[in-house]
Amino acid sequence: MIKAGIIGATGYAGGELVRLLLNHKEVEIKWYGSRSYIDKKYYEVYQNMFKLVDDKCMDDNMEALADEVDVIFTATPQGLCASLVKEEILSKVKIVDLSADFRLKDVKVYEEWYKIRHKSPEFIEEAVYGLCELNREDVKKARLVANPGCYTTCSILTCYPLVKEGLIRPETLIIDAKSGTSGAGRGAKIDNLYCEVNENIKAYGVTTHRHTPEIEEQLGYAAGREFCLNFTPHLVPMNRGILVTAYASLAQDADEDAIRAAYEKYYGSEYFIRVLDKDVCPQTKWVEGSNFVDVNFKIDKRTNRVIMMGAIDNLVKGAAGQAVQNMNLMFGFEETEGLKLVPMFP
């Protein structure tokens, strides 16, 4: 049994971490960190935890926390984890960071897109990008894991096999993504009020969304060269879920059999990635509340393009579920422990 601490336990991703870890047979939560609710009982913040969690919320003192637990999850805004992490802490405890602080390997790119100074760039090279299906062996050896973003998880896993196998022309890739409102976090924002979101859909962060360089960096590794693409996110009136629809021109020798074979090559043995049957398009409802990624594709022979599609729950595979999956690998547990969640339907 290992002990876990969560900094940012009262945000949406933090709340999902609590939900998942309470059902993990190898983990005991010892620290419910929340700067906004110090000394308030956790169930008073999330009433669904009544009679399940009686602990009070604590502060974000990572140094004190490192003496009490084996793993720390930081479900916090950009910049906080980087401001707290130190070699002394990493010598005692493993960290899974759900923010973007250690996802990008170029500190200049991070500071350009996130508009803040990185406070611990010395750990960027060491941090492992925690997309388990692609970096499983590195995650197993890591003491600091950068948990991928929600849009990036869905976008990368949807496109990766075709990029890796050279079945598309990378310079033609366009990614259109749609997310539920929980992806924006639990903080009060005018744009996320019910009357603003209900009966509405909009694009945002057009050409400027912060997940763009993360997608480019990881697909660039797959392609073996620098990658540049268009990524446009949209906000849709639902609680959770991400749907990615990506478009690219086919390479000359790519056909349906080759594309299907590429998906099976990389994902055929993956528990959490489900390659759907021919002509079945992913839906967010089919993955809601689960750690699954549903992917599929369709070739448009008229335009010689392929349409790649993927769906995840942004709070599970896009955040907390993937963080638990990473923790499982880091501590030698079964990768699926605590995560065999049947999707909610309807």
Q: What is the DSSP string of 279-341?
A: TPPP-GGGTTTSS-EEEEEEEETTTTEEEEEEEE-TTIIIIIHHHHHHHHHHTT--TTTT--P
Angle at 63 between CA 50 and CA 41, to 5 degrees: 15
| Distance from C-alpha of 16 to C-alpha of 24, rounded to nearest angstrom | 13
150 has catalytic annotation? yes
Q: Which of 150, 154, 228, 281 is catalytic?
A: 150
Backbone angles phi, psi at 82, to 5 degrees: -60, -30
List of residues 6+ apart from 248 with CB closer than 8 A: 159, 162, 168, 169, 170, 172, 173, 174, 305, 306, 308
Asked whether the beta carbons of 53 and 43 are under 8 A apart, the reply is yes
Active site members: 150
